[in-house]
Amino acid sequence: MTKQTRRTFLKVSTLAAAGLATPSILRLGDRAWAADEIPVGIMYSLTGTTAIVEKSMNQCAQMAIDEINARGGVLGKKLRPIIEDPASEPRIYGEKARKLTIEDQVPVIFGCYTTASRKAVLPVVEKRNGLLVWPTWYEGEECSKNVLYAGSAVPNQQLENSIPWLQKKLGKNKLFIVGSDYAFPRGMAKTSKTICQNIGMGVVGDEYLPLGHTEWASMVSKIGSSGADVIFSNVVGDSIVAFYRELRNQGYDFEKLPLCSSTTTEVEIKAMGAEYALGSYVSLPYFQTVDTPRNKSFVEAFKAYAGADSVTHAAMEAVYTGVNIWAMAAEKAGDVTPEAIVANVGGLSFDAPQGKITIDPQNLHSSLTPRIGKTRADGLLDIVDQYAEPLLPLPYSSVGETADKRICTTAGATL
Amino acid sequence: MLMTAIDGKQVVQPLSPPILRTRNLTVRFDEFPAVHGVNLDVADGELRVVIGANGAGKSTLLDLLCGKTLPSEGEVWLRDENITSIGEAAIARSGIGRKFQTPTVFKEMTVLENLQVASNRRVRVFENLFQRISARANDKEVAVAERTGLLDSLNRKASELSHGQLQWLELAMVLSQEPKIILLDEPAAGMTAAETDKTAGLLLDLAGDHTVLVIEHDMAFVRQICRTITVMHQGSVLAEGTAEEIEHNPAVIEAYLGSATLSHA
Amino acid sequence: MRMMEERMTYRTASLVAYVAFFALLMVLPFFLNSFWTNRMATYLVYSICALGISMSWGYAGILSLGQGLFFGMGAYMLAMSLTLADPGNNPVPELMLLNMEPDAVRDLCCVTTGSFLWIPFRWVIVGILAGILVPCILAAVIGYVMFKRRTTGVYVSIITLAFALIGQLLIINNQPLTGGFNGLASLASLEIFGFEFDPYGPSIYYLVTLTLLAVILLARYLLSGRVGQVLKAIREDEARARYLGYDVENYKLFIFCVSAGVAGLAGMLFTLTSEFAAPSLMATSFSISMVIWAATGGRASLLGACIGALLVNFIGSLASESATFQPVWPIILGGLFVFVVLVMPNGIAGIFKDFFDRRSAPRTVEGR
Amino acid sequence: METFVIGLSIGSILFMVALGLAIIYGTMKVINLAHGEMVMIGAYTTVLATKHLGFNLYLCIPLAFLVTAAFGYVIERTVVRRLYGRLLDTLLATWGIALILQQLIRIHFGLGLFGIHIDGLGSDLQNVPVPSELQQAFQFLGANIPVYRAFLFVMALLLGAVSWWLIFKTRFGSQLRAVSVARNTASACGINDKRVNTLAFAYGSGLAGIAGVLVSGFKTVSPDMGTPYVVDAFLVVVAGGVGHLMGTLLSAGILGEVQSFVATWLNDVYGRTVLFTVVILILLFKPQGLFVTKSR
């Protein structure tokens, strides 16, 4: 050990000892925060399987908070982040959400990446009157009044643009839908099938593999023999890489058999090596390549914050949006309680990196701009199609929700 | 007992109906017949010694009797009950107790606990559900311990006992089981001369109340307990008779010719 | 009889330890805020789990690495009842409405394939009973084939592990029936005779503590009696026990089922403190964690296993909440596995016992 | 036909992982739950060697073998050896080692704590460039067969052959067999059984490392990638019969095919379920393994 590292080590261990020695177990008065601070929870996994993506979301949330604090904070108070690591396990998400909501008494948690983790947090925020700001695009089918779905796309915002585009622009008519085995891909598949029916496109397959599954050979050969001329992928996580690589190894080419994904962000492309994703399409409201001054400054700011080789992606942009729109709602309400935020956030607009987003007052989801990107050799995506105006969120599109016939309203969901 | 010679072979004709009978008992390992066509009749209360060279199939025979090994052919009868392949536990319950060559006891338990487990005649789970165990030995356990010289060691862990004491403990456990038939695999192995004498005495003592089947190498010991002897050779019964008869049996001598082991083995 | 005296001392000491432990648990809520009350209750649930492991592994030498399967089944059974008790899921759980065919009848009988299986769970009592019985029956089936074929040792561990994996996969794969990967999360609070258990209040805490107390007393009664003695004998030498006339398989099956029932009970209580049930409860890593809780506290000591579960989880949560310890916590945990096994195979309870029991010559490992 | 080839390649990977486990289990009766982590370390060796040393995939094979064998050597000497005869405890200790190894990769062997990051480590997903000649597919009997899958199959056979030679034709092999059949006798005959153990453990780990290199060519490399392999590989070993090379080979092939065919007809979940069920049935009704004739 050099002198320097030993000193660091000593410092680290002293800090650690101090950290361990002061748990606030005892109920000697509930925790009091300094009057000029507002505690906020940040809860993204720093360890475990989904840490890869969630680490960058954690950084982005901190960056957004730093920016707000630099501008003078919220209601004249600084935001003070309390960071928890739920270790990619729903069980621990629930536990940490309890700690934040009940013990630390934060008025808001910015957190979660997977729906399974959100479901574990849901009972906590609903019964203990907390607020979760949820960032990830997901299957919808939820209508909680304790969750602000800021910047998170729902199926209609990823599918209404892309599936007709595959038919019209690429001339493809036989769709194979493939996904990891959980609610999001299944919800996406249902909405996809409805859309396909409406536009007269055939669905030749709808298959799932367990999350984290990395043996894709059978599935790829199934796709090959199904006669499909286009693939829609709702595969997530580690499986994405194995899936794309298997397609390549079995000799498929995205020019002949195009693939459009709802989940493959810049992070996954970087992880698999851009050559394997080259030419594949992705449908999401945000890509690092969105060509606006607003986004350029966001990307620059994040690279300055997290390192030059980091990439920005949709879930992260939604985190950024979520923190900011929460702060706007707090300013408008003059209060940070979940009720005040929920009552005031409807109709608020934020000039996000992707463009203008607006919170829907009925379902607390966000109007977003659907985009389709095509992967290029450097691992970023060229935007090949985008809407001129943001599209309304319809979280229950999988069971037939339309703009005129809402299922999720301020009164809750009526199925 | 009457000894008759049929075709040069000596067969024991028991006076009382035999308590243990085997018929054509055969087992093969990889087509090699370890025990082959054994017909054994053991009378009630008899003390029977089985001898034979290494690999003659003596231990395998005991394994077949107590259910450790399943026979390829043949049957085992306990009085008029066919106990072939009914499982070790059921065989034990029907009245056969087995002591192994290397003592197998419950090492992490005390001597008393070992005896308690052995003497407990309720064997089903639900019978035992509400059974408490006493910290003290009952009369029966004291008696067995006394007989085997373990009275002073009741509260010691079995793992702390000497090898000889372990042999005694296993014997004590088999006795606590109160079996009709006791199978003993080289009970005197590893014992001092004094202990061997004591064992011989005990075996003679046991015979009568129990039927005892002993495997032994030590001819001195065999002579000491000197009852009917069965000689096994290459998996089959070669001869049966008293010690004296056996030592002069031409077939036995021929089988052991050159090896000259009978008197020492 | 110096030996006897020393035993007495150890006996008295463990009695004191038991009393002190439960006395502490009883007064604890007076000093805890609602978050820590809930967290402690959850950790005590883990203690019950460790207790189940200790019963089968420590006392009978059966190391199940699929305990999470039974825990998860227990959690699901109660969660199904509590799902139906939630007004938002009346008459049919929302998860089924989202997964049904558009023209299906909106009734539990036939809204999705197999949804009729939920019908009995309209009565909470069914959920509660099933939470213990279903894991027991499952264990009976698995145990029957395993033990009748005389599977032992590591084979048992790996087979149970494989069963847990299958269970997890099947639950995930049948989303319209089970909620799939996301599990069941919109649950009502448990209400018995009009009394509502609050996950954050002392009511659940005491429910868990008293259950723990009941389980530990029952386990002690069972294991200090004849059955425990025979199990210990089986652990020491299975064949010997057989030649003494015991049907070894039945004893193993019995304790395996009891252990599964205890895990199921813990699973139900987990549903109450954490308000959800998910397939991740059946994950291999969670099952193995349970084993290490028991190993740390002392595999062959019931109280030890409880304390082990509390300690490992408590330290774990503190470590994960301190920024400096968080990245090295898995290493500490992994190191703990190795350390416990190498250095203190009988866990904390073993050290406690050695302290009173110096004379017992070479230290040996129980329940290999 | 494609399904068959896929099954063959699944079987090949299974075989490579299981072979090491079989040698270790056969010799020492120890289940190494960190065996999957050896696969992981092999894969990370590949990542680092391609990134920093400019190695290609082929060169990484011997390198990864040496690296993982060294890991295996250390693990045996420091932990497994002390637990001789305590099988369940070994199971737990090696699981602990697995946790430690995973986390060491995540925190850059501890350097991450001091702000030093090594490109290729950490909790991110990693990938390995595959030589272009392995990225194609060729036609065989009218089926489209990826070169990489064929390569896996060839490598599996090659490793099987090398191991066979090592076990049956060398002095070390005869010692190994002696120890696995009768440890005490072997050691009484002057065989250093501890040394044999260590070498067997290291060799088995090395084989897993090679499997890791090959896996990295078509799967994601991440710290927890190895975990699923252990259970599958162990099932292969017991299904084939402990200590029987040929049995391991055949059972890996059969189980790979079972999984592949069921996955194609139904889905992968049922593929795995059927796989487990088959193995459990084998264990229950033929505990000696599929390809072993009963012996005393």
Average pLDDT over residues C278-291: 89
Q: Is residue A181 part of a domain?
A: yes
Q: Is residue C19 part of a domain?
A: no
* Residue at A314: amino acid letter: A
Who has greater pLDDT, C245 or D288? C245
| Confidence (pTM) | 0.86
pLDDT-based confidence at residue D126 (cuts at 50, 70, 90) = confident
Tokens of C220: 């002690």
Cβ density class A339-354: b for 16+ within 10 Å, e for less: ebbbbbbeebebebbb
Residues B69 and B114 in one domain: no
pLDDT-based confidence at residue A3 (cuts at 50, 70, 90) = very low
pLDDT-based confidence at residue D112 (cuts at 50, 70, 90) = low
Contact A103 C35 (CB under 8 A): yes
* D79: contact with C, CB 8 A cutoff: yes
Look up the CATH number of the domain holding residue A236: 3.40.50.2300
Q: What is the DSSP letter of B219?
A: H
A-C C-beta contacts closer than 8 Å = 135
Q: Is residue A236 part of a domain?
A: yes
Greatest mean pLDDT among B3-17, C211-225, D164-178, D224-238 lies in: C211-225
- What residue in A sits closest to D263 (Cα-Cα)? A218
Q: What is the pLDDT of residue C8?
A: 56
Contact C200 A102 (CB under 8 A): yes
Average pLDDT over residues D222-242: 81
Q: What is the pLDDT of residue A353?
A: 94
C-alpha A248/C-alpha A240 separation (Å) is 12
The H or E element spanning position C87 is: none
Instruction: Name the percent of chain B lying above pLDDT 90.
Output: 6
HSE (CB half, 13 Å, CA atoms) of C294?
33
Q: What is the DSSP letter of C32?
A: B
C-alpha A91/C-alpha C39 separation (Å) is 12
C-alpha D103/C-alpha D123 separation (Å) is 8
Contact C341 D96 (CB under 8 A): yes
A223 in Cβ contact with D12 (< 8 Å): no
Q: Is residue C366 part of a domain?
A: no
Contact D219 A214 (CB under 8 A): yes
pLDDT-based confidence at residue A2 (cuts at 50, 70, 90) = very low
C130-187 pLDDT, tens digit per residue, is 999 999 999 999 998 888 877 777 888 888 988 898 899 889 888 888 888 888 888 8
Q: Is residue A391 part of a domain?
A: no
Q: Which residues in chain C are closer than 8 Å to D89, comparing Cβ atoms?
A: 341, 345, 365, 368
Nearest to D266 by CA among C141, A239, C169, C283: C169
Give yes or no for residue C367 having a pLDDT over 70. Answer: no
Q: Is residue A36 part of a domain?
A: no
Give yes or no for residue B121 having a pLDDT over 60. Answer: yes
C330-343 pLDDT, tens digit per residue, is 788 888 888 888 88
Contact B98 C243 (CB under 8 A): yes
Per DSSP, chain A holds a count of helices (H) and strands (E) of: 14, 17
C-alpha A174/C-alpha A232 separation (Å) is 10
C-alpha B128/C-alpha C226 separation (Å) is 6
Contacts from C291-294 at CB under 8 Å and sequence distance 24+?
Answer: C291/C53, C291/C57, C291/C63, C291/C65, C291/C67, C291/D92, C292/C333, C292/C336, C292/C337, C292/C340, C292/D92, C292/D96, C293/C46, C293/C47, C293/C49, C293/C50, C293/C53, C294/C50, C294/C51, C294/C53, C294/C54, C294/C57, C294/C58, C294/C347
C-alpha B75/C-alpha B148 separation (Å) is 34
Q: Is residue B100 part of a domain?
A: no
- What residue in D sits closest to A52 (Cα-Cα)? D124
Q: Average pLDDT over chain C, rounded to whole?
A: 86
Q: Is residue A207 part of a domain?
A: yes
Chain C from 295 to 334: CB within 8 A of any D CB: 295, 327-328, 330-331, 333-334
**Domain membership of residue C213 as a residue range:** 36-284
Q: Which residues in chain D are closer than 8 Å to B33, comparing Cβ atoms?
A: none
B50-59 pLDDT, tens digit per residue, is 888 877 888 8
D248-277 pLDDT, tens digit per residue, is 888 888 888 888 888 777 777 787 788 888
Q: Is residue B60 part of a domain?
A: yes
A154-208 pLDDT, tens digit per residue, is 999 999 999 999 999 898 889 999 998 888 888 889 889 989 999 999 999 998 8
pLDDT-based confidence at residue D295 (cuts at 50, 70, 90) = very low
Between the alpha carbon of residue B237 and those of residues B22, B38, B69, the distances in Å are 12, 6, 19
Greatest mean pLDDT among B238-252, C64-78, C284-298 lies in: C64-78
Give yes or no for residue A319 having a pLDDT over 90. Answer: yes
Who has greater pLDDT, C304 or D182? C304
Residues B148 and B197 in one domain: no
pLDDT-based confidence at residue A29 (cuts at 50, 70, 90) = very low
B23-35 pLDDT, tens digit per residue, is 999 988 877 888 8
Find chains touching chain C: ≥3 CB pairs under 8 Å: A, B, D
**Least confident window among A11-25, A122-136, C96-110, D164-178:** A11-25
**Least confident window among A137-141, A297-301, C330-334, D60-64:** C330-334
Give yes or no for residue A277 having a pLDDT over 60. Answer: yes
C-alpha distance across the termini of chain D, in Å: 41
A36-52 pLDDT, tens digit per residue, is 889 999 999 887 777 77
Q: Which residue has the tokens 């330290």?
A: C315
pLDDT-based confidence at residue C33 (cuts at 50, 70, 90) = confident
Q: Is residue A243 part of a domain?
A: yes
Into how many domains does chain C fold? 1
pLDDT-based confidence at residue C305 (cuts at 50, 70, 90) = very high
Q: What is the pLDDT of residue A16?
A: 42
Between the alpha carbon of residue B248 and those of residues A43, B260, D208, the distances in Å are 92, 14, 65
C-alpha B115/C-alpha B136 separation (Å) is 11
Give yes or no for residue B8 having a pLDDT over 90. Answer: no
C-alpha A151/C-alpha A311 separation (Å) is 18
Instruction: Name the percent of chain A lying above pLDDT 90.
Output: 49
Residues B131 and B3 in one domain: no
- Give the torsion sign (CA, D264, D268, D273, D278): positive
Average pLDDT over residues B180-204: 84
pLDDT-based confidence at residue B4 (cuts at 50, 70, 90) = very low
Contact A241 D268 (CB under 8 A): no
Into how many domains does chain A fold? 1
Who has greater pLDDT, C152 or D47? D47
Residues B135 and B263 in one domain: no
**Domain membership of residue B126 as a residue range:** 105-178
**Least confident window among B2-6, D143-147, D192-196:** B2-6
In the listed set B125, B152, B178, which residue is the last one of a domain according to the structure? B178
Q: What is the pLDDT of residue C358?
A: 63
Give yes or no for residue D161 having a pLDDT over 80. Answer: yes
Find chains touching chain A: ≥3 CB pairs under 8 Å: C, D
Chain D from 235 to 294: CB within 8 A of any B CB: 293-294
Give yes or no for residue A57 having a pLDDT over 70. Answer: yes
* Residue at C354: amino acid letter: D
Alpha helices in chain C (DSSP H): 2-27, 34-53, 59-60, 67-85, 94-99, 124-148, 153-173, 175-178, 202-224, 226-236, 238-243, 248-274, 284-297, 302-321, 329-343, 347-356
When scoring B93, B117, B121, B127 by the number of chain C Cβ atoms within 10 A, the one with the most, hence best to mutate, is B117
* D144: contact with A, CB 8 A cutoff: yes
C161 min Cα distance to partner chain B (Å): 26
Instruction: Name the percent of chain B lying above pLDDT 70.
Output: 90
C-alpha A37/C-alpha A23 separation (Å) is 21
Contact B29 D296 (CB under 8 A): yes
- Mark out chain B residues that contact chain C at CB-CB < 8 A: 66, 68, 88-90, 92-93, 97-98, 104-109, 113-114, 116-118, 120-125, 128-133, 155, 157, 159-160, 173, 177
Who has greater pLDDT, D259 or A234? A234
Residues B191 and B265 in one domain: yes
C-alpha D232/C-alpha D248 separation (Å) is 12
B81-119 pLDDT, tens digit per residue, is 888 888 888 898 888 999 888 888 898 899 999 999 888
A89-114 pLDDT, tens digit per residue, is 888 898 899 989 988 889 999 999 98
Contact A238 D9 (CB under 8 A): no
C-alpha C18/C-alpha A49 separation (Å) is 40
Contacts of A76 (CB under 8 A, 6+ apart): A36
In the listed set B157, B178, B199, which residue is the last one of a domain according to the structure? B178
Q: What is the pLDDT of residue C130?
A: 94
A289 in Cβ contact with A245 (< 8 Å): no
Contact D149 A207 (CB under 8 A): no
Q: Is residue C329 part of a domain?
A: no
**Domain membership of residue A166 as a residue range:** 156-284
Look up the CATH number of the domain holding residue B86: 3.40.50.300
Q: Average pLDDT over chain D, rounded to whole?
A: 81
Into how many domains does chain B fold? 2
C368 → closest Cβ in D89, D98, D231: D89
Contact C230 B120 (CB under 8 A): yes
In the listed set B178, B213, B232, which residue is the last one of a domain according to the structure? B178
pLDDT-based confidence at residue D137 (cuts at 50, 70, 90) = confident
